[in-house]
Amino acid sequence: MEEEIELSRIGVSLPSSLLNKLDGILRGRGYSSRSEGIRDAIRAYILEYEWMEREAGEKVGIITYLYSRDNHGEKGIGDKLTNARNSFSEIVMSTERLFLEKGKVFETVRLKGKAESMKNLAESIMSLKGVKYVKLATTHTDI
């Protein structure tokens, strides 16, 4: 006998372009429904968050993120990102910026120091309106 799982319904507003991309990916991966695919995406997000929370000690790492310079109504995103990085100057070793088409910018920030500070910097970047993607990767230095 299969265990019955209580499900909760939520409503999510998405731009149609994002929903179309999601639907295409879900079809390509063989999902039978949007709900199934979204549940898997949420599980992956939770695992990533839990991994970040467990990271500790001295590390080297890199944060990669993507944002738009021309985000409608978002003036000064570059300044906000600079301020965020400057708040963690003790761990930021270098930054590299790549300008892409249509006003998009891809940046990498190389880090060395406490994992907690790296997580805090990544989260401060994630919280900025206009930042579309953020990824933190770390490794030990004693290998």
69-128 pLDDT tens trace: 865 555 689 999 999 999 999 999 999 999 999 899 999 999 999 999 999 999 999 999
| pTM of the full structure | 0.71
Q: Looking up tokens 């930054």, which residue turns up?
A: 95
Domain co-membership, 131 together with 72: yes
Q: Tell me the pLDDT tens digit for each residue of 25-77.
A: 999 999 999 999 999 988 888 887 787 778 888 999 999 999 998 655 556 89
125 and 108 in contact (C-beta within 8 Å)?
A: no
User: pLDDT grade, residue 5 (50/70/90)?
Assistant: confident
**Amino acid 64: pLDDT:** 98
Domain co-membership, 31 together with 65: no
Task: List the domain range (segments joined by +) for residue 21.
Answer: 16-52
Which 8-state DSSP code applies to residue 77? H
CATH number at 115 reads 3.30.70.1150
Taking 3-state DSSP, the helix, strand and coil percentages for the chain, each rounded to the nearest 5, stand at 40, 25, 30
Structural domain count of the chain = 2
